[in-house]
Amino acid sequence: MPAWMVTASMVGFGSMARDSGVGLDIALGSSLGIWGLPGQVAMTELFAIGAPVLAIVVASSMANLRFMPMAVVMMPYFKGDTRAMSWRYFIAHLMSINIWSVFMVRGPVMPQAERFPFYLGLSFVCMSGGAIGTVLGYVLAAAMPFYVSVALVFLNPAYFVFIFSSVRVRNCLIAVVVGAIMGPLLHQVTPDWGVPITGIVAGSIAFGLDRLWSKRA
């Protein structure tokens, strides 16, 4: 399922990239190099308006900055495996929310020696799907309505909600519920900052309530 979601989302991105005047080589390179839809969408939008390369690099990097805390949480599970630690920067590059969420469910219960091969297999399948989806979307852009392309791009975030909602951890469930309520409201007030503010506030509320209930238990 993660691979199918990535493929469908990248079909939307490939179509968007072509409509924005981005070449297939750059679109495919961004899927393999940036490997994060928010960063890729930022790159495409800035490229379309002729922004400087430095601005595109900074915007794409900032959009994918969310991967840093995810990597900090995930990497300790590879400690003790010399192969994995030798390739730790490559592991961090391959990581996406799809891959991270699946690994964080399956990886911790696996024997240490099986985690790195499992992670690589999962990553290569998802990344291959992303590359194929980018090419398909780019080629089929002329036959794909705009709203279909946008819907496919947003299919992946919708899938993330289901993933995090299925996690039987109280703070994650609280964050999803609070974020679902606050996100649309804050977007009406400040479209540019609604998402990061929602993430910070919803996450902080979930952390605080979880700590409070844990002390009372």
Quick: pLDDT tens for 121-162.
999 999 999 999 999 989 888 777 777 777 776 776 676 666
The residue among 207 and 163 whose pLDDT is bigger is 207
> In the prediction, which pLDDT does 75 show?
92
37-72 pLDDT, tens digit per residue, is 888 888 888 888 888 889 888 888 888 888 888 899
Query: Confidence class of residue 96 from pLDDT cuts 50, 70 and 90?
Result: confident
pLDDT reported for residue 167: 59
Token duo for residue 145 = 């309505």
Instruction: Work out the average pLDDT over 66-85.
Output: 89
Highest mean pLDDT among 9-13, 76-80, 194-198: 76-80
- CB under 8 A, 24+ apart: contacts of 41-49: 41/13, 41/16, 41/153, 44/13, 44/16, 44/17, 44/20, 45/20, 47/20, 47/21, 47/22, 48/20, 48/21, 48/22
Whole-number pLDDT of residue 114: 94
pLDDT band at 101 (very low <50, low <70, confident <90, very high): confident
pLDDT at 163: 65
Is residue 204 scored above 90 in pLDDT?
yes
- For residue 42, which amino acid is it? A
pLDDT band at 195 (very low <50, low <70, confident <90, very high): confident
Distance CA 76, CA 200 (A): 24
The per-residue pLDDT of the chain, averaged, comes to 86
Total-model pTM: 0.76
